[in-house]
Structure 1
Amino acid sequence: MKNILSIDGWYFRVFSKLANLILLNLIFVVSILPIVTTGISIIALINSLQELKEDGSLSALKVFTAHFKNNLTKGLVLLVIEVAGFSIPGVLIFLSLKHVPLLSTLIMILFSFLLLLLVVFPFVYALNNYSVKEAFFQTVAFVTVKIAYAIAIFIIPIAIIFFSLKYQIIFLFLIGISLIFYIQLYFINKAGVLSES
């Protein structure tokens, strides 16, 4: 019993990680309230989760705040890329369905590939010192070579959001968002595509 409750025991590690996920989730939810900071918050959350994974004794609030301050420009660029990446193909699909239904199938296939890119891109861009162009090419390489990982990374948010909507929406606001990013980060690390930053 003494070993279980020690600082090195599994009990402390599990609940420490859980507390960090909850705290990061709450900070993230508050930080995206001004919509403009969404990209910055995503990068800060990804980097914080990576750093806390390596050293769980750090303060989640300090780590998140530091990454938030250091990634203002990068976060705004990410927001523009993600909004454009989701909206432009969406408009094209809508217009093609309305005017050229035959073309809509091809656009939907391309959009499916683009969705995988849009889900993986924030991780590649946040965790590496890449320019947007380099991050894009690394993301395309990841999605084409490690397609199983990319699909898993895409399915994780859908599954957790579905679970939250079906059972308790509060789960999403309490821990769900940071849990999504934490599991996705696990697959990104397992795929071995991150360079040493």
Structure 2
Amino acid sequence: MRFLDYNSSFITLMNKLADLVLLNILFIVGCLPIFTIGASLSALYYVSLKLSSNSCSSIMKSFFKSFIENFKQASIIQLLIMSVYSILVAIYLFLSASEFELKNIFIIAFIIIAILLFFIIVYIFPLISRFHNSIAVCIKNAFIISITNLKYTLLIVIIYVLPFSIMFQFPKYILVILTAMIIFGFSVISYMCSFIFSKIFNKYITDN
């Protein structure tokens, strides 16, 4: 039957889905020691970017290659992010419990800073997986790219947030969504976003 032909669209789709399931498992396993989440995210996007350009020959080999190569840098950035967010949460709790005239202005400023930091997080690990730069340059580039490509940044944020928004808006689907995330969710999200990242990154490569 034609749809069972190795070069058919159906078989190609099934092969891609199998790749994404394997990638999702590798990502989750890589995140199990909490301090390796950054390295696992970098490896996830390294493979996803390759899959989006049909240049990935081995999911497992590519994942661990990136995981090992970017472990130190990604782990330091993860630690920095966790530290900054911990400080922001502490400040927010302090402001929420305080009563002073400019409280609302400080809370708005806090929210803006938190959003900008999230924009940086959106790009920082894909950038680590794609380019070799110092941590300071990675952070600077992530910030600049997120702002100069704001419409793409917002689209990526929507893709990231949508499954969790549905989960909290419709609690009866929590088990279904969590199951999907465990099986293929993270890799599908990164794969979808990789087409956007590739478009953005290629523009800067061309410009340089």
TM-score scaled by length of structure 2: 0.83
The Cα offsets for residues 95-142 of structure 1, whole Å up to 9 and x where unpaired, read as 222225231122112222222222222222221112111112211211
Instruction: Describe the shift of the 1:174–1:56 C-alpha distance in structure 2 as closer, same or farther (beyond 3 A).
Output: farther
What residue is the counterpart of 2:110 in the other structure? 107
Q: Which segments of 5 or more consecutive residues in structure 2 lack a partner in the other structure?
A: none
8 Å contact from structure 2 (residues 41, 125) kept in 1: yes
Q: Which segments of 5 or more consecutive residues in structure 1 lack a partner in the other structure?
A: none
Matches within 5 A, 1:48-127: 48-55=47-54, 58-99=57-98, 100=100, 101-102=103-104, 103-127=106-130
Structure showing greater relative contact order (alpha-carbon pairs closer than 8 Å, 6 or more residues apart): 2
What residue is the counterpart of 1:157 in the other structure? 160
Report the Cα distance in structure 2 between the residues aligned to 1:16 and 1:6, rounded to whole angstroms: 12
TM-score scaled by length of structure 1: 0.87
Instruction: Describe the shift of the 1:11–1:128 C-alpha distance in structure 2 as closer, same or farther (beyond 3 A).
Output: same
**Structure richer in helix, relative to its length:** 2
1:173 maps onto 2:182 in alignment:
yes
The percentage of aligned residue pairs carrying the same residue is: 21
Report the Cα distance in structure 1 between the residues aligned to 2:130 and 2:56, rounded to whole angstroms: 20
The letter for the 2-side match of 1:22 is V
Greater displacement, 150-159 / 90-99: 90-99
Greater displacement, 75-84 / 187-196: 187-196
Aligned length: 195
The Cα offsets for residues 7-51 of structure 1, whole Å up to 9 and x where unpaired, read as 332222211111111111111111211111111111111101112
The letter for the 2-side match of 1:155 is I
Q: Which has the larger radius of gyration?
A: 2
Instruction: Describe the shift of the 1:172–1:15 C-alpha distance in structure 2 as closer, same or farther (beyond 3 A).
Output: same
1:182 maps onto 2:181 in alignment:
no
8 Å contact from structure 1 (residues 39, 76) kept in 2: yes
Greater displacement, 135-144 / 170-179: 135-144
1:37 maps onto 2:46 in alignment:
no
Instruction: Describe the shift of the 1:152–1:57 C-alpha distance in structure 2 as closer, same or farther (beyond 3 A).
Output: closer
- Structure 1 residue 194, shift from structure 2 partner: 5.6
Report the Cα distance in structure 2 between the residues aligned to 1:117 and 1:57, rounded to whole angstroms: 26
Q: Please, what is the CA RMSD of the aligned residues? A: 2.2
1:145 maps onto 2:144 in alignment:
no
Query: Aligned with 2:4: secondary structure?
Result: coil
The Cα offsets for residues 40-90 of structure 1, whole Å up to 9 and x where unpaired, read as 111111101112333366221222122222222122123213212422222
Instruction: Describe the shift of the 1:89–1:57 C-alpha distance in structure 2 as closer, same or farther (beyond 3 A).
Output: closer
Report the Cα distance in structure 1 between the residues aligned to 2:154 and 2:50, rounded to whole angstroms: 25
8 Å contact from structure 1 (residues 89, 111) kept in 2: yes
